[in-house]
Structure 1
Amino acid sequence: MPSNPPLYELQKARLQAYAHAGYNFDPDKAADYTPATGWRVDDYETELPAEAPGPAEPHGAWAAAREVLRNYTFPPPGLITGIFLPDQPLDQRVMVLRGRFLLFTFWFGVRIGGVTDEIRTLPDGRREQVWGYNYRTLEGHFERGQIEFTVHKDLATGRVWFHIHAYSQTGHIGNPFYWLGFKLFGRMLQKRFANESVRRLREQVEEMLRKGWASPAAEQAPRIRATSSHKDAAEQLEENR
């Protein structure tokens, strides 16, 4: 009996369509996106298990958080599911996000806008090891903006933490029913996404450490959710351009 093709193969056409979509905002003007100009700016943070001072441990909390971030397993699955090609380099990744609330299901495209992997020296002289990435909204998304996920380690104290930084604004929504639903529930869902994401990442890191964490093999990567029975994504992209 022939085996079914990998689920991400079934989604290649949709992913490729979003790969050619443009941003629905100008990332080069990020400095102008402030509450004073009508943008929401949000920061969320959670503590992770501390390590010994010095560089991140190979199988400690910092490295475990990096794996959770890379595999995008931390968002609440009842709210957001990410679909992407697992062998695509992170800095080239395009994702289709499936969002759900009430009886609605929405499909959005985002693109990784940058990957951070560095030792930072702060103004007070402290040094921290930082890894993470941001993604940016594409045409058809109900929001405009960028969200960044980073894991940090203070090299002097061993403190480890996860941080989310985002700026966003409601985008163009052509469908009046979607517009009303997003106006009523969008901000609440945005906060829920962030709060549950920091909680889930912390819990996943703690579980990995309890089980004697080691870097997972490629074949153990999370399954990519199939959406071949849904045509809403392409229709929504076209409708909201």
Structure 2
Amino acid sequence: MSPLGSRVLGRPDAVQVWRNLANARVNYSVDEVRRPSWNIDVHRTALPAERPGPPEPGGSWEQACRLVRDYEFSPPEIVRALYDPAAPLLGRDMLLEARFHGMHFYCGVRVTGVVDEVRDGTDRVWGWAYETLEGHLERGRATYEVVKRQETGEVLFVVSCHSQGAPTLDRITSLGWRLFGRRTQLRFYHRCAARLRLFVEAELRGREPLPGRSPAVGRLVWAPSDTRTHHRDALAIHRVAPG
């Protein structure tokens, strides 16, 4: 277990846990990534299309980029994030709260890549990637991109990941991860895609799909903005940096 790893009665001081991420390092090397010991995933979801050509002002691509930038696509019943919205996106530390089966795990990631390019001569791409930090349940990288195929007008949300459970998990957490982790991971990808498509469709119809920004914690915010705390959260088992 990481030196930060601990069980917490009640919710932890998330702001302090977030501050501790500044001294954490990425917990894997890309040279280690290979099947079958790593999961390597690519998930593509069609969003509302636009006319062929560059992204349309206020259109599907722009709306999706804004929602992806603010981590609004994440389903708060599975993963929510605490971060400083004033910090540059590249290099931003995010404290993730992963929630499943009555257990809440607090794990750090760092944004280590931002994509803003025309790819293959035609595809307009914007997105970002984070990598897992010491103490995370997993090791790996997740990349979230919004792609417009300018020749056809197709708009896609593309999630690319490589991951494995952290080898330093204790026996109980490791067993739980083997039983539920991969299933929860795949459900997370599915829910991210469904939320983003729903929200983009609502924006294009002129509706506000989400409430305003969730209450701030000092200068930090929880994302997505429909994150809410429930009284039953106090009954969960809370683990800080379990890896």
- Shorter-chain TM range is 0.7 to 0.9
The higher-RCO structure (CA 8 Å, 6+ apart) is 2
Q: Deviation of residue 187 (structure 1)? A: 0.5
Give the aligned partner of residue 108 of structure 2.
109
Instruction: Say whether residues 1:66 and 2:29 are aligned partners.
Output: no
Task: Check 1:77–1:212 CA distance in 2 against 1; reply closer, same or farther (3 A cut).
Answer: closer
Q: Is the 8 A contact 1:71 1:221 kept in 2?
A: no
**Other structure's SS at 2:173 match:** helix
Residue aligning to 1:14: 17
Q: CA deviation at 1:52?
A: 1.4
Contact 2:113/2:130 (8 A) holds in 1: yes
Shift of 1:232: 5.0
Bigger share in helix: 1
State the SS of the aligned residue for 1:196.
helix
Letter in 2 for 1:33: V
Match of 1:141 in 2: 136
Counterparts of 1:210 and 1:34, CA distance in 2: 43
Q: CA deviation at 1:174?
A: 3.6
Letter aligned with residue 42 of structure 1: D
What displacement does 1:180 show?
1.1
Matched, 1:170 2:165: yes
Structure 1 residues 103 and 221: CA distance shift in structure 2, 3 A:
closer
Q: How many residues align?
A: 215
Q: Is the 8 A contact 2:43 2:158 kept in 1?
A: yes
- Alignment gaps of 5+ in structure 1: 1-9
Deviates further, 10-19 or 49-58: 10-19
Compare the two structures and name the one with the higher strand fraction.
2
**Partner of 2:147: helix, strand, or coil?**
strand
Aligned equivalents of 1:14 and 1:191: distance in 2?
27
Question: Once the 2 structures are TM-superposed, how far is the Cα of residue 57 of structure 1 from its aligned partner?
Answer: 1.2
CA distance in 2: counterparts of 1:128 and 1:222, whole angstroms: 34
1:189 lines up with 2:192 in the alignment: no
Q: In the alignment, which residue of structure 1 is the partner of 2:153?
A: 158
The within-5 A match list for 1:211-226 is 211=206, 220-223=212-215, 224-225=221-222
2:6 aligned residue: none
Identity of aligned residues (%): 36
Q: Which amino acid aligns with 1:62?
A: W
CA distance in 1, matches of 2:170, 2:79: 21
Change (3 A) 1:231 1:179: closer
Instruction: Please list the CA deviations of residues 170-226 of structure 1 after superposition, one character each: whole Å capped at 9, or x if unmatched.
Output: 11344322111111101100101111111111111111111168xx9xxx5444349
Provide the TM-score with structure 1 as the length reference.
0.81
1:46 and 1:162 in contact (8 A); partners too? yes
What root-mean-square deviation, in Å, do the aligned CA atoms of Structure 1 and Structure 2 show?
A: 2.5
> In the alignment, what sits opposite 1:3?
none
* TM-score of the pair, normalised by structure 2: 0.81
Q: Aligned partners of 2:122, 2:89: CA distance in 1, in Å?
A: 25
Secondary structure at the aligned position of 2:67 is classed as: helix
| 8 Å CA contact 1:73, 1:222 repeated in 2 | no
